[in-house]
Amino acid sequence: MTNTDWNAVNIVNPQGQGGWLLVCEHASRRIPDALDGLGMSPAASCSHAAWDIGALDVAHALSDALDAPLVAGDISRLVYDCNRPLAAPDCIPARSEIYDIPGNAALDDAGRQQRFDQVHTPFHDAVARVRESWQPTQAAPVLVTIHSFTPVYNGATRAVELGFLYHAQPAAAQALLAVEQARGRYASALNEPYAATDGVTYTLEKHGEAQALPAVMIEIRNDLIDTPEKAQDMARHLAESLTQAFPIPDSEAAE
């Protein structure tokens, strides 16, 4: 086990001035060598169970387009899901949809705490550092978390293509949905295919709503972003929608 092997987070463009803070919790399917692949099959470790397919490519492209800092996870959510508190039963899942995760099945409380300390803590510390680096003269950033979801889950087909989620404060998600529906390119919805009641808005609440920041979680159906070209196209589209929904004054206008 090495410190590098357990690197839990990457920060891209930390000095970005665009007025956005991007977070991608499920950016990586990497499992530290010490965990021996959590005992999973190669198919499971490459599947959507291990990461949000395409989400990091979209997040990187959005960071470029919006000049926004990006905090991205560097360890699979199957090791520890950074979008969950330690108290959540699925923060270290023993099963994910059709896949068993043997390396998580017998983990005791001490083992769970160790995973939390090694993965969750450095990730959320990094988000907080970037968030707190905003200067008092700058407008508060808009927190945008980037996720993807499967077209079929537990046998059910999902018609929605883009979902905009909130924890308890709907304004940001509603604003983005209104722009998206007016543009009409994608089938979009509020709190689909998940909602706060599914326990998926932990990061959104912790670093957005609890800090009085506008915050929205974007869920993208992964067949729309499963190649670099598709991800770039989606990022261009979302950058336009975000800037319409949340106009950020440029520095010259502010002066």
**Given this model, what pLDDT does residue 62 score?**
99
- The pTM for the full model equals 0.94
Mean pLDDT, rounded, of the chain: 94
The CA distance from 236 to 42, in Å, is 33
pLDDT tens figures, 37-67: 999 999 999 999 999 999 999 999 999 999 9
pLDDT tens figures, 110-147: 999 999 999 999 999 999 999 999 876 678 899 999 99
Answer whether residue 247 shows pLDDT above 50. Answer: yes
Amino acid residing at 7:
N
The residue-averaged pLDDT of 80-103 equals 94
Locate the domains of the chain by residue range: 9-247
**Given this model, what pLDDT does residue 249 score?**
56
From residue 236, alpha-carbon distances to 137, 144, 150 in Å are 28, 15, 21
Q: Which CATH number fits domain 9-247: 3.40.50.300, 3.40.718.10, 1.10.760.10, 3.40.630.40?
A: 3.40.630.40
| Confidence category of residue 255, pLDDT binned at 50, 70, 90 | very low
> Of 68, 81, 63, which Cα lies nearest the Cα of 26?
81
| Confidence category of residue 155, pLDDT binned at 50, 70, 90 | confident
- Residue labelled with tokens 């990006």: 70
Answer whether residue 167 shows pLDDT above 70. Answer: yes
Q: Which two tokens stand for residue 205?
A: 């609440």
